[in-house]
Amino acid sequence: MRVVLLGTAASGGFPRWNCACVRCDAARDGKLPARGPECAAGTSRDWWLLNASPDIRAQLTAAPALWPGPRHTPVRGVLLTDAEPDHVAGLAVLRDAARLKTYAAPPVLAALATARAGLDRHAPWEWADSLTEGGFVLAGGLVVTAHPVPGKPPAYVPGRSSDRRWVTVYRIEDLATGRVLVHAPRVSSWSALLEDLVADSDGVVLDGTHFTADETGDTGRHLPVSGRTGSLTALARHPGIRRIYTHLADSNPLLDPASTARAQVSETGAEVLPDGTEFAL
């Protein structure tokens, strides 16, 4: 299985257009690498996008493996982890491709109803429930199971939602090799479910939004990297797998390769990789 990290930043990318913090200014000056909003792609033959960021055109252009041929594109569809704008806005960029298949949880599909109708007028797409019992098989030989984890609906969804399936973690297995990737760019806690998924995998791409729990005051929405209950402690129980952080907020010191936070993560064997990195499991 091949995976490309198309984007590795949190909402708005890095640097954020309206932020003049030390790290964002350093990125503008070329002292830190810029990053696009979180998005990835995986394949064993055909390519499937994991989320569709607003920067998807530039991200695909920067990834030669996903370039179109004379009569087709290798991209077959999209797996959405949630309905946040930075994970779904790129669907509009893909609108001219016919027969793309997009998987998402039922509340996400419902939240995108108007957008789906508009996209279908450009080219017919297939929209599928990612939480279908038993999982599903993607063209190219990838077997996927989707697992809902605690999370809130995006701010644009009106009213209060009683549905708790707004955020999804994907387990993706290559039928040919048996290798397994867990894609979890947005998680609020390290649950027994996540522990089991990671323990049974060969690699995990995990939410690294905040390094500390009190980094921005926006507590509870993202599992912090550090601390007794942080993800780094949990990942230490799985030293045999590849562990990669993504969805990094501009407040996160992991963005700086020279930071003590980056050194702490690297010492455990976990990784913070630049946009465009391709790896194999």
Written as tens digits, the pLDDT of the chain (281 aa) is 999 999 999 999 999 999 999 999 999 999 999 999 999 999 999 999 999 999 999 999 999 999 998 878 999 999 999 999 999 999 999 998 988 999 999 999 999 999 999 999 998 899 999 999 999 999 999 999 999 999 999 999 998 888 999 999 999 999 999 999 999 999 999 999 999 999 999 999 999 999 999 887 666 689 999 999 999 999 999 999 999 999 999 999 999 999 999 999 999 999 999 999 999 99
- Number of helices (H), then strands (E), belonging to the chain: the values are 8, 14
Which element (helix H / strand E) includes 114? helix 113-122
Cα dihedral across residues 154, 43, 100, 57: positive or negative: positive
User: For residue 151, what are its two tokens?
Assistant: 């999370």
Rounded to the nearest 10°, the torsion over CA 105, 107, 112, 113 is 110
CA separation (Å) from 154 to 52, 107, 186? 16, 11, 13
State both tokens at 188.
Answer: 């609020």
Structure tokens at 266: 């690297």
Which tokens in the block code for residue 167?
């955020």
Compute the distance between CA of residue 234 and CA of residue 198 in angstroms, rounded to an integer. 10
The pTM (predicted TM-score) of the whole model is 0.96
Bond before 107 cis per omega within 30 degrees:
no
